[in-house]
Structure 1
Amino acid sequence: MINPSHVNPIWLIKNKETGPAFDMAMIDVRHRYWNHYYHVDGGRQRDVLLALNDLGPRPFFAMPRAQVEQLLTCCFAGNNQKEEIVKAVIPEFPTARVAPLISFFKFAFLRLWMEKKVILPLGWSSPINNDVILDEIIQEHTKNCPLLVKIRAINPVSSLGYEGGMTKKNRELRATGWLRLLLASNLHDAENFTAEVARDLKLRSFGCKSELARFYTDDFSLFLANASNNPWMRDAVNRILAESREQAKQARKLTHESVQLKKANKQHLQMVEKTRFYLEGTDHSIERFATIFSDARDLSRAFRMDNSPTLPGGLELLPKKVIKFCQMLNTTYLAFLKSRRLESQKNHRTSLYYLLAYCGPYLYQFFMDRDGNLDSYPTTFNDFTCAIYITADVDLLKEVCGFEKDLPETLLTMIKIIMEINQNTPDTQYQRTYPIEGFFDYIISQSAAIPNAEKVRNSFSPDCYPKLIRKWGTIKKPIPRMYFSTFISMLYSLEYLTIHLNGMADGAEPGIVEGELKYPTLSELVHGSDWAGLWGTAAMSCAGVDFKALNFTPIFYHNGKPRPFTYIPKFYRISDMHINGTVQPRIIMNDVRSTLLMCETGIRQHHLLWLDVDRYANYVERNTRRPLAPLLVSSDKAHGEWTAIVSHRVIELLDRQNDWYGRCTDPSFKNSIWYNMNKNSKFGRLRPLFRLAISPGGWTNYDPFRLLLLCLQHFIKSELGDMRCPDIVWCKPPIGTTDKIQYITDNSTEALSSITASTLTSDYTPHGLRAGFVSEAIKFLPPSIVGQWLTGQSEALVSYYSVFDESDLGMTHQQMLCMSLMSNQDKLSTGDFPELAETISKLNRTIQKDIAADPVTAISKHRLMSLSSVKQESDTGLDRIIAKEVSELAFNTTHICPFNNTCPKEVLDLFGEPNCCSACPFAIRGVAHLPAISAKKDKYRELMAGTLTLIQQYLARKPSARISTELEQLEAENDRFAREACLLEAIEIQLVQMYEKGLEQEFMVKDRQEVLRHYERLSLPEEARLLKRLIDVQNFPDASSDDLSMKLAHLRHVLLMKEGDLSKILGVDPDKTTPIANKVAAQISGMVKSGAINEYELFAASSGDLDAIKQLISTPKQTLQLTHMVA
């Protein structure tokens, strides 16, 4: 039993035994204190002991029960008459020693309870600052009071040792209250705990204002049930708590209407006072009115008319004439909305409240101030002239129309002022304005049915609307790209966590308590402190999930390696769900799954939530497993029902959600509902896959999403230590501060767990996941395909949502080379310039014009340079064009020749031969010539390598079999190729430096190590070099070599084998006029476009690796598959 009184004890001994029992208890307490405080520095406790000794032997033996109970009241918290009570009962005891004496009394009554002589009242408070003595006395009675030992051990300051699963915070919250609750009962052992006691505890703690509401009685009952050996006790307590949850739900339902009514009445009175404040004030300007009603929520509360018998607060104080006109406006406007058949009327309704506010208090007060009466107040639509009240240009009306009286400010002026007060964007102002024009158009179209509306005209013009700035890209921020795949992996793991937690509620999954597997009941999950780190009754929080209570370790993948979670905030919500015929709490699966779907598909969250249970997988072939699958999306504001192509794992996720939907036994879930709860919606009725037993506004994942971001940020900042990555979530600043953002500087688990979840905020929203998906998909597919088959957007919207960063420039080198090659081939096949050659040609024409206009400026602008000759240091190509000593310039791909490609005598004297352009000091080069110089350099390197091979083979002959002139010719040719390659390499380095540093006055590099570093920086693997050289030849036909032709011929042979056309492989090509480079380029372009080979297979073949070629030609030809586009 539990003592029903907070002040009166229940004695379990006879009246005459009370005094002797209390006296013996005090003797025991005095002995214990004396053992600890007998020494001289024993302090106040020693003084109390000496004062009690002065009372004589056994001073409490003859004390009647009434006086003992008076001393018991001194143990109550908040008793301010302790000294008077002690003085009345023990007159000889010194008043100065009363305060420490109270602790002696507390221990004495505790001993009486342990001896089963009294049940203390709930008002009794525990001893403090005497933990050693308290642990000592309790431990000595372990055999008789085992439950007391367990409850005392919960207190973190106790030395008895705790072995349960409570957190320190939960132990601190429960320790004192449970000890008081235990001492107010006869529960010396857990076997004494009965279902009746559990029910009594629940009844006395039901409601936030009940007497035991702060004692954690639900958890206390579960604690005792688990400590009991009675096998039926856990089930009994579970039933009692389940009944109480149902009763609480019914109570909330009964009080909800009254609470809402009180709230509505309070808001109504507030709006009446706002209106009164304006009407009774001295300033009735439109600016003053807009300031008072600048909050859109106040406009809705003050002027919303929903067929209620009472007027809204904003119109209640106005005369009937004004009210009647406002009611006519409201009725007609609602008819206008009905005719539009809008899926959402929210934006249009806001414009209605602006209109009613303007025509109500503002126009009423305007006419009363101007005329003193309402004779001119409009009563019909003919009176309510659009050109005067809505869009008027006051100066124009006064000068042209001759109005003598002042005109009111317009509705558009009021809207503009409110937009400025709230710092809204021009887009918002536009959204508030255009429904008003649509309303007047509706009145005009229905003037035959609407009384007194035949004179209505629409005076709106483009000037009535704000200037809108066209947005070329979304402001939504996607998850940082380097962590996007990590975030998705986290989400899949967190989805399994929520499945596991719901499995625990079903009794199908165990947890761990005190190192042992245990299957908790639903009541234990909701109310038990052992499971508070997983479930509990609290809402979402930043407190970390208790990993010790899980029977598995949640992991995720980062850069292909598994990593365990070290922190997971309680991102999940708990809501009631109809399961197995009863309403039970379960974790909402929407939040993590809708986030996952947005990452995987890029489809808007609203459309995902309203996928039809019965139709989403209509086109999925269940008997085959393919990487991609069609998803039937039931809605889209652009083009209605459509089919998206998604990865198969998306269908699997939706199937899991479908199974979860099927578990709900609520009869209403078997029925379809109107899309978006909008009757007569064009999307019809359906059963939304992510439906919850709450309003649709609660189906979304906006609040949990910030906690998911917090989980990711902890990993980035705390575990990886990546402080360069921008924060993706932060806290709202405290009220009263000027800071806009309060960044999270301490990312430790303890610091994050202390954050209040409602203070989290972020610029990263679930809608930003759409931008992240589109940005990835657009790498592989054109916007038209992404929009039509993946996200349901228009081509323009796909480009709008694509977000690129610097990492995109080097995202896949293979694809960039392959796309360049194919683009060049398309141009060549139509007789056009390849892209690079065309660009260089345009640049040459520009350089030609600039040199003709101003040579000095052209040199600086285009970063032109010439080599300096040792013999003629002051005379270079740049000097010639500055001095204008050139007849005609020849613009080549690798340089500009001031002699029109005809070497004069001075050049021939310098080199002894013509066309030594690479070393010529008169050749002029710029950054624009880099591609051609690089191509020519590679050509000479290949020629040099070829002559070296010939020389090595020639030297392998016997000396007698060699002809010295042949060897000299080969060596001379090799020297020429080496000279050209080295000169072009040095020039390339110089131009690269000028390009990167923007310097045009740098000297030529002479450091050999820098040349080597440049080679290393620009080096390419063999397969990439081969395609790069093929692109060179497409742009610069003279950049080919025999070595390159041989490699291209081999590549073409491999590709022909891939196609499987034996006649082409074995036969002689009749077309001998087409260069091999052109043939290979056409072959590659056709095969990649048809899907016969992809970029990576092409690179494998280009490498010349035998195993790669075998694998390529043994693979059967396949049709184009987009297996890597959505997955």
Structure 2
Amino acid sequence: MLLPQPHGLNNILVSLYTGLRNNHIQWLDAKTFDCRVTEEDRLFAKLHTNTDKTKKSAWEPHVNFRVIEILRSQKEWRGLINWPGFKELLYYNNNEKTKWPKIFPLFSAVADGRPHPDSRYERTWRAVLGSFQAILPDIDEASNFRLCSLEPPYVEFLDVDAKAKKEKYGLECNETGVCLLDVKSKITPHSARVSVVSQFITFLPAEMIGTYITGQTPATVHHYVKLDPEFLEIEQVHQSMVLRERAYRNELEAFATAPRVPDRFIRADDVNSHLAKSLRSNLDETLTSYGCISIVLNEGSTNGLDVLRETRAAYAVENKTEICPYANHCPPEVVKMWRGPHRCGLCQYAVRSVDHLPAVAAKANQFDEILFALTEKIVAAMNSDDPRYSDAELDRLEEERLRIGEELAGWKVSEEVLDATRCRIAAGEETRRWVVQAPEIILQDLQRVAVPSNATAYLLQRLQECIVYPTLESPQMRAKFDLLRRSLLARTGRLDEAFSFAAPVSPAEECAGLLRSMVEANTLTYDDLVNLLERDQHLQNFAPTHLLPESGVGNGEK
């Protein structure tokens, strides 16, 4: 009677779970493989591995408990066989000179007790690949993956000479009437080792993988890593989100404890800023060291850097978002080219350094908000059954929208170029000796924070920007700050102030003051504050007198 052997499948399953070399799985010892497993082990256990390619003694990787179950089922099968050879101890790989003690093979497969040959698990591996290829259409992956194919002898998977070889083999088949086909693939059983390492490297350090799972050195672990490009893209997005949220959280905590400028905002227009001091001490070195740029559309045209060097910055004015070499008086040709004055986002004479980057990013946000609001107005007017604007008025709105879009593009270009320059300087690609003071954005190791998609997080970011750079507040954001201010006042019982017709001079400052009081009074984290602002019930969980200090104390008012 022939008894089916599970050796090939069990071997493959263990290799896919553990990443162990197939040869060491074949030579596991039936008496010792589970000697370190305890009754308490349910999810993971130690597998006693009695051989290894590089180690000098047996070792014990941590494995999924399913591995122990598979090997115990293999041991049960072994117990069904009464061949004399199954009771013998054998040398590893049948080599009498081996450094390893004799083994009682768990995977004994032939009469003399030797384990199954490599061809056994290789054939099983191809069968598994073929089966998996067959179910790919059911999981909508058929067009993306081709794991294997059925080919005649001497024809490899994706063989460039497949057509000629098949025609030749077909002629031979006509003589015998039988054409043998087999599953061919470039994916070998050794790929299981690659798969295990590539999976674990996504959440474990290489040192831990090598020490506790695969038995490799860290360098060898990295050699086996092959990550899915889709995973890398997802991981990059996730890391960006985490870094962004950490940045917001750190800024909020600093913002809530003292009325000061958050660290990532630099006032390049301050008379005592590094940029201002450096310009006064060494103009030429500063323009180079600070990565100063001017956006020029026509190659060969004079730009702001040329004017600064020519005039030695005699008329230069340092603004929050740029240096104007013409004392903020637009040259006639610029006014003509851009159909109006003070369109600094497009001006070829505006000079910007890496220390201008935070203000430039805030300026881009301001124009983005204005453009979005104007677009909504135009769309609503065009979709209205009762026209509120004449054709001429709609044309003027569309023209204004075009102007804002043009300048937004200019600010965005400047932001991208400046951030690329900052990255290059921070990475050490600019190895110059600092003759002038280094840019503050480099000294503080500041990085650009991506615009958050969450509306509340964006509101908090813009609140900080508008406090540091008040002129970069858009009408839309000013209205939102006032709405948030009134909402906080109303929900803390200060209804007279909340519904007052008096417009605040600075909604951002007052809103920030209320938020600062809330954070200090309740020891809120960044996440707490976002949740509090997003959902009404979070606000209602706090007693009004705890959210904000009471007003009018001492005269009987609340």
Unaligned ranges ≥5, structure 1: 1-583, 746-753, 835-847, 869-873, 947-975, 996-1017, 1051-1065, 1085-1099, 1110-1127
Counterpart residue number, 1:709: 129
For the 8 Å contact 2:34–2:68, the answer to whether it is kept is yes
- Evaluate the alpha carbon distance shift between residue 903 and residue 781 of structure 1 in structure 2; reply closer, same or farther with a 3 A threshold: farther
Counterpart residue number, 2:50: 634
- State the percentage of identical aligned residues: 21
- Confirm whether residue 922 of structure 1 aligns to residue 345 of structure 2: no
1:880 positional shift: 5.8
Show CA shifts across 1:621-664 (max 9, x none). 434533x4333333322334333233333333333323323333
Is the partner of 2:74 in helix, strand or coil? Answer: helix
1:589 positional shift: 1.1
- Evaluate the alpha carbon distance shift between residue 693 and residue 812 of structure 1 in structure 2; reply closer, same or farther with a 3 A threshold: same
Aligned match for 1:796, one of 192, 201, 219? 219
Show CA shifts across 1:49-71 (max 9, x none). xxxxxxxxxxxxxxxxxxxxxxx
Once residues 624 and 697 of structure 1 are traced to their aligned partners in structure 2, the CA distance between those partners, rounded to angstroms, is 29
- Confirm whether residue 773 of structure 1 aligns to residue 205 of structure 2: no
- Evaluate the alpha carbon distance shift between residue 804 and residue 1107 of structure 1 in structure 2; reply closer, same or farther with a 3 A threshold: farther
Once residues 728 and 799 of structure 1 are traced to their aligned partners in structure 2, the CA distance between those partners, rounded to angstroms, is 27
Show CA shifts across 1:952-994 (max 9, x none). xxxxxxxxxxxxxxxxxxxxxxxx9x9989843675389989x
Once residues 218 and 151 of structure 2 are traced to their aligned partners in structure 1, the CA distance between those partners, rounded to angstroms, is 37
1:774 positional shift: 1.7
- Confirm whether residue 592 of structure 1 aligns to residue 16 of structure 2: no
For the 8 Å contact 1:787–1:795, the answer to whether it is kept is yes
- Confirm whether residue 905 of structure 1 aligns to residue 317 of structure 2: no
Once residues 9 and 229 of structure 2 are traced to their aligned partners in structure 1, the CA distance between those partners, rounded to angstroms, is 30
For the 8 Å contact 2:320–2:359, the answer to whether it is kept is yes
For the 8 Å contact 1:616–1:633, the answer to whether it is kept is yes
Once residues 74 and 408 of structure 2 are traced to their aligned partners in structure 1, the CA distance between those partners, rounded to angstroms, is 64
For the 8 Å contact 1:893–1:932, the answer to whether it is kept is no
Once residues 244 and 20 of structure 2 are traced to their aligned partners in structure 1, the CA distance between those partners, rounded to angstroms, is 34
For the 8 Å contact 2:211–2:217, the answer to whether it is kept is yes
1:918 positional shift: 3.7
For the 8 Å contact 2:206–2:221, the answer to whether it is kept is yes
Q: How does 1:326-337 map to 2 (within 5 A)?
A: none
For the 8 Å contact 1:1101–1:1108, the answer to whether it is kept is yes
Once residues 992 and 629 of structure 1 are traced to their aligned partners in structure 2, the CA distance between those partners, rounded to angstroms, is 51
Question: Which is bigger in relative contact order (C-alpha 8 A, separation at least 6)?
Answer: 2
- Evaluate the alpha carbon distance shift between residue 684 and residue 710 of structure 1 in structure 2; reply closer, same or farther with a 3 A threshold: same
Once residues 117 and 92 of structure 2 are traced to their aligned partners in structure 1, the CA distance between those partners, rounded to angstroms, is 15
- Confirm whether residue 728 of structure 1 aligns to residue 125 of structure 2: no
Once residues 47 and 362 of structure 2 are traced to their aligned partners in structure 1, the CA distance between those partners, rounded to angstroms, is 49
TM-score by length of 1: 0.28
Show CA shifts across 1:52-97 (max 9, x none). xxxxxxxxxxxxxxxxxxxxxxxxxxxxxxxxxxxxxxxxxxxxxx
Once residues 614 and 893 of structure 1 are traced to their aligned partners in structure 2, the CA distance between those partners, rounded to angstroms, is 79
Counterpart residue number, 1:1022: 454
For the 8 Å contact 1:927–1:991, the answer to whether it is kept is no
Aligned match for 1:660, one of 77, 83, 88? 77
1:696 positional shift: 4.0
- Evaluate the alpha carbon distance shift between residue 814 and residue 904 of structure 1 in structure 2; reply closer, same or farther with a 3 A threshold: closer
- Aligned residue pair count: 396
For the 8 Å contact 1:619–1:632, the answer to whether it is kept is yes
Is the partner of 1:770 in helix, strand or coil? Answer: helix
For the 8 Å contact 2:451–2:458, the answer to whether it is kept is no
1:767 positional shift: 0.5
Once residues 84 and 345 of structure 2 are traced to their aligned partners in structure 1, the CA distance between those partners, rounded to angstroms, is 86
Q: How does 1:745-784 map to 2 (within 5 A)?
A: 756-757=180-181, 760-784=183-207
Once residues 773 and 932 of structure 1 are traced to their aligned partners in structure 2, the CA distance between those partners, rounded to angstroms, is 47
- Evaluate the alpha carbon distance shift between residue 989 and residue 676 of structure 1 in structure 2; reply closer, same or farther with a 3 A threshold: same
1:703 positional shift: 2.8
Is the partner of 1:673 in helix, strand or coil? Answer: coil
1:795 positional shift: 0.6
Once residues 894 and 661 of structure 1 are traced to their aligned partners in structure 2, the CA distance between those partners, rounded to angstroms, is 80
- Evaluate the alpha carbon distance shift between residue 653 and residue 696 of structure 1 in structure 2; reply closer, same or farther with a 3 A threshold: closer
Counterpart residue number, 1:643: 60
Is the partner of 1:701 in helix, strand or coil? Answer: helix
- Confirm whether residue 611 of structure 1 aligns to residue 34 of structure 2: no
1:798 positional shift: 1.0
Show CA shifts across 1:291-318 (max 9, x none). xxxxxxxxxxxxxxxxxxxxxxxxxxxx
TM-score by length of 2: 0.51
For the 8 Å contact 1:729–1:763, the answer to whether it is kept is no
For the 8 Å contact 2:305–2:351, the answer to whether it is kept is no
For the 8 Å contact 1:877–1:924, the answer to whether it is kept is no
Once residues 894 and 633 of structure 1 are traced to their aligned partners in structure 2, the CA distance between those partners, rounded to angstroms, is 66
For the 8 Å contact 2:136–2:142, the answer to whether it is kept is yes
1:810 positional shift: 1.5
Once residues 589 and 664 of structure 1 are traced to their aligned partners in structure 2, the CA distance between those partners, rounded to angstroms, is 13
Show CA shifts across 1:254-306 (max 9, x none). xxxxxxxxxxxxxxxxxxxxxxxxxxxxxxxxxxxxxxxxxxxxxxxxxxxxx
1:612 positional shift: 2.9
Counterpart residue number, 2:432: none
AA at the equivalent of 1:678 = N
- Evaluate the alpha carbon distance shift between residue 990 and residue 1027 of structure 1 in structure 2; reply closer, same or farther with a 3 A threshold: closer
For the 8 Å contact 1:630–1:643, the answer to whether it is kept is yes
AA at the equivalent of 1:636 = D
AA at the equivalent of 2:243 = S
Once residues 125 and 359 of structure 2 are traced to their aligned partners in structure 1, the CA distance between those partners, rounded to angstroms, is 52
For the 8 Å contact 2:11–2:22, the answer to whether it is kept is yes
Is the partner of 1:588 in helix, strand or coil? Answer: coil
Once residues 319 and 27 of structure 2 are traced to their aligned partners in structure 1, the CA distance between those partners, rounded to angstroms, is 60
For the 8 Å contact 2:330–2:341, the answer to whether it is kept is no
Once residues 463 and 78 of structure 2 are traced to their aligned partners in structure 1, the CA distance between those partners, rounded to angstroms, is 60
- Evaluate the alpha carbon distance shift between residue 698 and residue 849 of structure 1 in structure 2; reply closer, same or farther with a 3 A threshold: farther
For the 8 Å contact 1:672–1:685, the answer to whether it is kept is yes
Once residues 200 and 459 of structure 2 are traced to their aligned partners in structure 1, the CA distance between those partners, rounded to angstroms, is 26
- Evaluate the alpha carbon distance shift between residue 613 and residue 723 of structure 1 in structure 2; reply closer, same or farther with a 3 A threshold: same
What is the root-mean-square deviation of aligned Cα atoms in Å?
6.6
1:605 positional shift: 1.5
For the 8 Å contact 1:774–1:802, the answer to whether it is kept is yes
Once residues 1108 and 592 of structure 1 are traced to their aligned partners in structure 2, the CA distance between those partners, rounded to angstroms, is 55
Aligned match for 1:698, one of 107, 113, 117? 117
Once residues 776 and 922 of structure 1 are traced to their aligned partners in structure 2, the CA distance between those partners, rounded to angstroms, is 53
AA at the equivalent of 1:792 = G
